[in-house]
A and B are shown apart, each in its own frame.
Chain A
Amino acid sequence: MNFFVPFCIPFIVGAVAMFITLAWKWGLWLYRLPRADKKRIVCGLPTRATLDAAGEVVCESLLHRRIFRVNPLLGYMHMSLAFGWFLLIAVGWAETIAYVGFRWVPLQGHVFFRYFATGLPHKPVFAFIMDLLLLFVLSGVALAWGKRFFSKRMGMRRTTRHVLGDRIALSALWFIFPARLIAESTTCALYEGGGFLTGTIGAWMGEHISTMTLLTLESVAWWFYSSCLGIFFVALPFSRYMHIFTEIPLIFLRRYRLRSDEKESSYDRFQVDACSRCGICIDPCQLQSVLGVDNVQSVYFLRDRRYGMLRAEVADNCLLCGRCAQRCPVQIDLNTLRINSRDRLHNIPAERRYDYLKGVDRSSGTGKVGYFAGCMTLLTPRTLVAMERIFHAAGEEVWWADRDGSVCCGRPLKLAGETDAACKMREYNTELFRKHGITTLVTSCPICLKVFREDYALDGIEVLHHSQYIFRLIQSGRLAIERGAGQFTYHDPCELGRGSGIYDEPRAVIEAIGLLLEPVDTRENALCCGSSVANTAITDGQQLQIARSVTAELEATGAGTIVTACPLCKKALGRGAVHAEVRDLSEIVADAVSK
């Protein structure tokens, strides 16, 4: 049997072009990985991580489990296209083997098998399964069409605006399966066979269309099908569909503990190209929902970065609240990518910056517990006074790191992309903490907390947020609290919740004091106050607009007091609140301390 006819050419050319481009891209990215990352891959290969990654590939790249969590219909659409197409290919191979036995069949032989199999005996079981799978995929295509007009039904208020290359690939993809249906049906009309779908349509065509027309139609249909495949394959590595193949190595590399960092690296390419531009990140973005800014969301940021057209206005206009990363079905480390893009755009050498820091030490007190209020806390003196009362009530000997002025933790610099300068802050503060021999470091600022935990080398010093510290004091009985009749609602600061995973301690503390009422968006889905230090682009008025929308939601709980655990959030919500009082966690604790 000869598995070649001229209409196979577009498909073959497309497939070869795609595989060469893919091999070249992956090879280059892997080759450019830092040595440490390569070592991680080699060490990880023979471990369990490989099996886990394979499992994750099935769950995510084929079944799209995480999208099902966003919306079942949206999940079904993605699954039917990915898993359905995969099954079409896999069952197609099995079908070829069933027909011609174990012999080598070229790629186009499998793909266009129905065209070549006309002379062979009919196998109704395979015909049925293949038709069922084709219907499965076609239902996904129909939903994808429908999503253009009824995106809300699929859990998305807004969908991605695509660039021209994506539109070409998208159109080709949408035509592939209807084209296949017509091509196979015409062949069935001429030679009989086929299942409930292609067979029925074929029989109908055979009755109503003359054989001569059918012969022409068959040729045209198969040429069209092959061309759609060819165009799609050529466009794939340069369009959003690169995600189909990039997500797979990304899952493996992530399991081998490769991570993006504040400096760009080759691993980032896997993350950037793994974005499918599904647009799930658009809806949670408050810049979009509150301010109507619609060109800076992660999907557009990644697209611009991938095609080398990233502008500072896009990279800088982000709160880094992490709401998009929390929903991303590919789990791309969006915040870190944004930070290292900013690093590339804004970082300046800092050898001689901050020379004035030498010999500065305005700390006071002695104690194994250090308290670093943080710059912002110095602007919310009530928090500072409350902490002092709590320390006193618990009988804690405290070293006050920055009550009379200090050096910033360095995170705002890092978030602005000046990572080398942030290093200087880290060096200074680390030295200060070491010099005073503390074993516990308490901070009231989640921004400081995150940088202390992730970027400082503070081995031997336990870093705690004041909510955790207060929770421990209450639990161990060192701090006696009187429960009152107050009703509170709690606002999760981004850097504390999504950033550091601290959700339960502040809630436990509030519940020890009064009644806790949860707002609509809470814990992982909590809103950002809008004043994030990560955003240097939006204006004061825009910050206020976001703050008002957030406080409106918090006030809707009916609580008289909005509690938060971040001085910056407190300032922001305080401006947005209409009738509720905004207080820091430490303040309500200090008020509830038994006299």
Chain B
Amino acid sequence: MYKIILPLRYLVNRRISLLAVSAVALSVFIASVVLTVMHGLVGDFKEKNHLFVGDCVVSTPSLVGFAYYELFVEQLEAMPQVAAVSAVVKSYGLFTMGDRHSGGVQIVGIDPIRHGRATGFAAGIHYHAGDLASLFEPGYDPNLPGCVFGIDRIFLKDDDGAYQYDPCVPHFGFDITCFPLTAKGALRGLGSVSSKRFYLSDVSWSGLARVDDHYVYLPRAEAQTLCGMGGRDKRINAIHVKFSEGVTPEEGTERVRDLWTDYRENRSGASLAYLMDTVTVSDWKRYRRASIAGMEKEETAMIILFVLVGITTVFIVFVVFYMIVTHKVKDIGILKSMGASSLDVMALFGGFACLVGLCGAALGLLGGWQFLRRVNALEDWLHEKWDFQVWDRSMFAIGDIPHDIEPSVMGAIGISAIFACLFGALLPTWQAARLRPIETLQANQI
């Protein structure tokens, strides 16, 4: 019973124990807050990337694209695992707006209804929300050829991160120019360019800075013409696929890959079959690897930093326990003189370490939870009072600071804290257990 009572008394009566609890609580608090925010940011970023491309992408890195996609799209649509498919043209071009604005853009040719079904594209449309069929019809004149620009090209954000939309689509015309490529990858004609004026019909939001600043969506047929990919053997650059409910991206992608392999073999005799050689089938994570990898690296770096924080905590606990054991050698001697075994002494101090870890973890998690609950209110208050924002919403595509607590992450942090305490206390506890009673009880050895 003393193995329960005594650690509790050590905890309550010794200020140094409270120091150990505080160190653990602080580490747990920092880890829970930062990991929740970081986990939220990474999760949000991944989700945006997922919504942007769908579950799986059949694509070629070549700007020439690949042909014979129509039948493959039909075969994909016949698969029970597939919910929606969108064939997409991707190329690079220039836009000019009178003589005021010009710049590079990524041209994306889509069928808006299909693309809206296969990806999260529909949710980011402002003026034609729920009416994708007329997406490329500018509200001011439906007969003009429409285009949809990434929102950051058209509208600014206020300090709260809200876009300052015009009530109606602004009447902007853009000359979009690109270099049409033949199926062999050469320019259609020496010095030839394709150029056409499009009128802004809507804006698209994806939450991905590069996309919202650089993308312009055109009707697929228009994009194919502009990029030299029209004609008898129309070409595209990618097919975005959304899987049915219950099908994981990994297993669905495997099925699509098998289908593509068969399809490619069956078409091996066709004149443009060589264009299919560069086509790969990837799930969304692999396809967006270049974007996601940076964030994941940051998350990994953060975890490494927290391992260092953990090591510091272990060291603090070690020092505190070393001091406590040094102060408590008399108690160890007393207990051993009464028949307590070395294991009993280890259990006593091990229990104390557990208690320190448990209290520290509980306090840290409670503090972290309370802080995360109020983090956005706190940031709003700081913004109002001192004009301070953690992330400038006019620059970053972040709404609220992520604060959704992941019970598994919190649990892992709490359990790690308890283990860190046990680990930190291991050596002093072992030393305490090895103490001989006469070493500690006798004022004068002889």
Does chain A bind chain B?
Answer: no
Write the residues of chain A forming the contact surface with B, with a CB cutoff of 8 angstroms.
none
Write the residues of chain B forming the contact surface with A, with a CB cutoff of 8 angstroms.
none
